Structure 1
Amino acid sequence: MAPRRLWPCTVLLTALGAVTASELQKPLTSQQGPLVADSAFAKSLVDTDKLQDSIKIDNLLDRAKDLFEIAQLSEPEFGHPTRVIGSKGHAGTLDYVYSALEGLGDYYTLSKQPFPAVMGKVYESRLVIGHDVPESASPMSLTPPTANKEPVYARLVLVANDGCEASDYSSDVAENIAFILRGTCPFGTKSQLAGKAGAVAAIVYNTDSGELSGTLGTPVPEHVATFGLSGKDAAPVLEKLKAGKVVDSIAYIDSEVNQIQTTNIIAQTVEGDPDNCVMLGGHSDSVSEGPGINDDGSGSLTLLEVATQLTNFSVNNCVRFAWWAGEEEGLLGSDYYVDVLPLEENLKIRLFMDYDMMGSPNFAYQIYNATNAANPVGSEELRELYVDWYTSQGLNFTFIPFDGRSDYDAFIRNGIPGGGIATGAEGIKTKEEEVMFGGKAGEWYDPCYHQLCDDIGNVNSTAWLVNTKLIAHSVATFAVSFKDFPERSKTTALAASEQPRRYHGRYLIL
């Protein structure tokens, strides 16, 4: 077992200023200056079996204990452990990862990439429609508060069509609450148009009976306090409005939206062809509600352990590890990284692998169903690598939608092949999956998803170890060779994924 490192719990990472495009032409510059590999001791080329054998569950669990202690740094401010961006728990996480990488000597060049991030908090909310308080009413993420953070009293006004054009908002919307159908355009667009029409609040109701929880996305001044509402709760209201009846309402949201600075961490092997990089990432932050040991401590610690064990080998192609900040707020770190990446640097990334939630207690072995037909060419070849490995181990697996719910999203939207594996979040395990993977049908894959109980007892050691070995295999395979893997070109780099995007991170966006 590798010795456990001590981490300075009181150190907070300081923002280093914006990273310019010219700096990113050399995207992995060390803060200590150029690092030179020590060639005095020749290392053998990485071998997948040997790298997999080096992965030990005890090391992963020790790291999980460290991470939970770090999350506890946030208790004075939040009242419970958390690693949400802007917290001491997240600052401590970044320090822990970076310090561990520094301790690996000159095998990697390290960089910190500060960027502006938006985070929102809803302290209190209430929606009354007529004489009813709909249980499904949920404030949108990044919603502004109602005026003066006080209740507003107004009538509902039905917006025409999908509320995606200014002409859909009649003059009656002014000083009232816009009632808007979900669909066609993002929630943020609907809220902005409602605000421009003079609405004091907005309600977006679902197209089916289910609940509706989403995000307004990047804040703009015209956004108004916005709720999501289930189709079931909306149906009787819609019937009254279409019949010309007056429906009075009270809307109240006490919230704030703030901009902060946070940081991505990138580590790239000194050796290996820098024009042919295999890249993988996980997110360093949790939601505010809990410590996030499975989501995504399991992924980010897996990367750290694989990065540690890889130092015992040489590589032909460069390997680039990333710890993204702000994933839980809407994929902020990975979006920023790819958005500011010059085209010539984009082309050096042959593929991106996303590792988010590797040890869900009621797990299934899930592979993102990334096809070449809907995504950058090479995504399907990566998918088949996971299929082949699970098959070789005699393990069952299942495919899940590749729909933008994690940090691969920016990569595939910018022409970089992508994929990954997971073990399940709030989805319900089926009877068939119970037979395939064990566990319990009818329950969430992770019963503590985005909750306080996502602590060190919320990881399944079997799933975590199996998937860490698979991640080691994915790194070793492409660190040796990209033989038969599709080449990148400027044409493919500029071609966006055709995959429909209903999500941006954990949030619905339209």
Structure 2
Amino acid sequence: MKIRRFGTLMSAVLISSTLVGFSPKSIEYSQTSSTPIVQEESQASIVNMQALIDRLEKDGEITSAAVARALKTHITAVGHYESSKSYKKAIKHMESFHVLLNNYEKTRMISGNAANLLSEYADALIGQWDVIFDSERVMDHIRELSVEIGTRVPGSEGEKQAAEYLKNQFQSLGYETSIQEFAISNRTERTLKILTNKNKEIALGAATGSAGTGENGVTGDIYNAGLGLPGDFSAAAKGKIALIQRGDNTFQEKVQNATNAGAIGVVIYDNVDTVTPLRPTLNGNSTIPVVGTTKELGESLLAQLSKGTVKGKLVIHTFSNQTSQNVVAVKKPANVVNPKIVYITSHYDSVNYSPGANDDASGTGTIVEMARILKNSLTDKELRFVAFGAEEIGLVGSNYYVKNLPQADIDRSEINFQMEMLGSKYEPGSYLAFNTVDGKTNIAWDYTNAAFDKQGKDKEKLILFRRGSSDHVPFHNAGIIASCFNMGTKSGGLEPEYHTYRDTIENVSPERIQFAGDVISATIWDYLVDHSFIAKEIKDAS
């Protein structure tokens, strides 16, 4: 048995050991001293910490059974968070354990030695948990991207806000972070903001033949124009945005009737249930802006109108000279010349009118979480985390990034792990798809397969799928080993909320993200350990 004194060094050993793949140590007492010693064969745990409290009480270093009971009760509560994989909460409550220890030490209810030993063990457990993938943290990022920022269309202000948020996140973790800007094609914005409902945006479909509005759009009250028949309009329609149901007459007739009545815009909603907004086709050109929406959203506007005035701002405008941006975060190993590069990537933009919670705030939140748990990793690899912009308009950001890599970087590039849509609640979408451009296995597949085995997961839930259409494609085309992870159906299908306004945080499953994150983090950890001489030497020495 190897024996070490438990102290600050032990906390570092525990953290490092998790990073390189061997089990952290547990505390026991020697036969001749109350100073704990470390055993190789078991992991630091809540149970062992409770045993330590029992021993300290027995030795008189905790003054009463009531104090020991209070300490153990706190630790038991922390253990519940650990059991549910709520590691962020476990860390927070274990940190508050330090406050409890300080108070008991000040009142001399526990000895200084007991306070130090329990504090050291608490730090060791915190260090242990701090390098475990935590879906709660991912959900925080999803909330910021899809709720606080919202739609992140390439070139839009929302996409730029998201880039700044991600840059700040990576910088806070200690990464060398930069923004890579690039040009994109003109962007036509179609938005209807309901100004009386916290500027909520309604999902819209383009109408052929519609007039534009200019950058400032048109603003007016919403007017219920029924089916858009001549008799559905009164003098009150003038200067308002007409809300019209599909059916009975043509789109062109509806729009002409609205124009004749002096309406400043038209929103036509569907008469059948779909998740894709209606795209009206006009026979000729309209002199006022025209858009379509779904039956659900049209009827929601009618419901609001029944309660009072609803004011909206309708914009149909084409923006030129547009740019998007990639967010690049780098961790270089010390004292390694020309290290191999490992890429961990996602895209953070979304399609028009979609909050993009699963596609792909879930993947982006996951790479930020991977950056957190890898920030102190012992590896000789250069780690690059890249959040790509403009994926939704043709992988523009990732193509630009790879195309502009110097040849020396291409030569050093070893592997790419892409994260895409990892958390849909869609019941059949419980399978982790390992996607490659050619549908063939690669070394990342081997590690993913092994991670399923190590974690005792159902291998039926892992599928190999041939799929491009994500940011691993440019890496593959450049001759770099590349794969993309996503959660989907057994046949490789996606959830019905995909690319719709229903891709919201309410339809994201933390449990699915944790499932995928457990596998993906183990895949990347083990790959780094086995392909890094620094980590391998430490692992072998242990």
Q: TM-score, structure 2 length as denominator?
A: 0.49
In the alignment, which residue of structure 2 is the partner of 1:293? Answer: 357
Deviation at 1:335, TM superposition (A): 0.2
Task: Please give the alpha-carbon distance, in whole angstroms, between the structure 1 residues aligned to 2:409 and 2:498.
Answer: 35
C-alpha contact (below 8 Å) 2:332/2:381 kept by paired residues = no
CA deviations 1:63-117 (Å, max 9, x no partner) are 222223432xxxxxxxxx4111222221111111111111123xx2222211111
Does 2:460 match 1:394?
A: no
In the alignment, which residue of structure 1 is the partner of 2:513? Answer: 464
Aligned counterpart in structure 1 of residue 143 of structure 2, from 37, 55, 65: 65
Does 2:522 match 1:473?
A: yes
In the alignment, which residue of structure 2 is the partner of 1:381? Answer: 443
C-alpha contact (below 8 Å) 1:281/1:324 kept by paired residues = yes
Which stretches in structure 2 are left out of the alignment for 5+ residues? 1-11, 23-127, 192-204, 213-315, 534-542
C-alpha contact (below 8 Å) 2:173/2:371 kept by paired residues = no
Does 2:192 match 1:114?
A: no
In the alignment, which residue of structure 2 is the partner of 1:94? Answer: 163
CA deviations 1:160-205 (Å, max 9, x no partner) are xxxxxxxxxxxxxxxxxxxxxxxxxxxxxxxxxxxxxxxxxxxxxx
CA deviations 1:392-450 (Å, max 9, x no partner) are 332233435333210011111111111121113xxxx46x99xxxxxxxxxx7423111
Task: Please give the alpha-carbon distance, in whole angstroms, between the structure 2 residues aligned to 1:123 and 1:83.
Answer: 13
1:342 counterpart letter in structure 2:
P
1:416 counterpart letter in structure 2:
I
Q: 1:420 to 1:304 in 2, by over 3 A?
A: same
Bigger relative contact order, structure 1 or 2, given CA contacts below 8 A and separation 6+? Answer: 1
Q: 1:259 to 1:269 in 2, by over 3 A?
A: same
Deviation at 1:324, TM superposition (A): 0.4
In the alignment, which residue of structure 1 is the partner of 2:431? Answer: 365
Task: Please give the alpha-carbon distance, in whole angstroms, between the structure 1 residues aligned to 2:162 and 2:476.
Answer: 27
Task: Please give the alpha-carbon distance, in whole angstroms, between the structure 2 residues aligned to 1:456 and 1:326.
Answer: 21
**The residue matched to 1:401 in structure 2 has which SS?**
strand
1:116 counterpart letter in structure 2:
A
Does 2:378 match 1:314?
A: yes
Q: 1:418 to 1:103 in 2, by over 3 A?
A: same
Task: Please give the alpha-carbon distance, in whole angstroms, between the structure 1 residues aligned to 2:375 and 2:432.
Answer: 28
Does 2:486 match 1:422?
A: yes
RMSD: 3.4
C-alpha contact (below 8 Å) 2:155/2:187 kept by paired residues = no
**The residue matched to 2:508 in structure 1 has which SS?**
coil
In the alignment, which residue of structure 2 is the partner of 1:446? Answer: 495
Q: 1:462 to 1:260 in 2, by over 3 A?
A: same
Deviation at 1:262, TM superposition (A): 1.4
Q: 1:146 to 1:457 in 2, by over 3 A?
A: closer
Task: Please give the alpha-carbon distance, in whole angstroms, between the structure 2 residues aligned to 1:102 and 1:462.
Answer: 28
Task: Please give the alpha-carbon distance, in whole angstroms, between the structure 2 residues aligned to 1:400 and 1:146.
Answer: 44
C-alpha contact (below 8 Å) 1:52/1:473 kept by paired residues = no
Q: 1:98 to 1:401 in 2, by over 3 A?
A: same
The alignment of Structure 1 onto Structure 2 pairs a total of residues equal to: 293
Task: Please give the alpha-carbon distance, in whole angstroms, between the structure 2 residues aligned to 1:59 and 1:262.
Answer: 26
Task: Please give the alpha-carbon distance, in whole angstroms, between the structure 2 residues aligned to 1:291 and 1:123.
Answer: 15
Task: Please give the alpha-carbon distance, in whole angstroms, between the structure 2 residues aligned to 1:97 and 1:476.
Answer: 23
Q: TM-score, structure 1 length as denominator?
A: 0.51
1:394 counterpart letter in structure 2:
K
Task: Please give the alpha-carbon distance, in whole angstroms, between the structure 1 residues aligned to 2:501 and 2:210.
Answer: 32
Task: Please give the alpha-carbon distance, in whole angstroms, between the structure 1 residues aligned to 2:521 and 2:422.
Answer: 13
Deviation at 1:316, TM superposition (A): 2.4
Deviation at 1:313, TM superposition (A): 3.2
In the alignment, which residue of structure 1 is the partner of 2:417? Answer: 353
1:62 counterpart letter in structure 2:
D
Does 2:306 match 1:334?
A: no
Which stretches in structure 1 are left out of the alignment for 5+ residues? 1-40, 72-80, 125-137, 150-253, 434-443, 485-510
In the alignment, which residue of structure 2 is the partner of 1:268? Answer: 330
**The residue matched to 1:367 in structure 2 has which SS?**
strand
Aligned counterpart in structure 1 of residue 133 of structure 2, from 26, 48, 55: 55
Deviation at 1:369, TM superposition (A): 4.8
Does 2:16 match 1:44?
A: yes
> Sequence identity of aligned pairs in percent?
24
Task: Please give the alpha-carbon distance, in whole angstroms, between the structure 1 residues aligned to 2:350 and 2:486.
Answer: 16
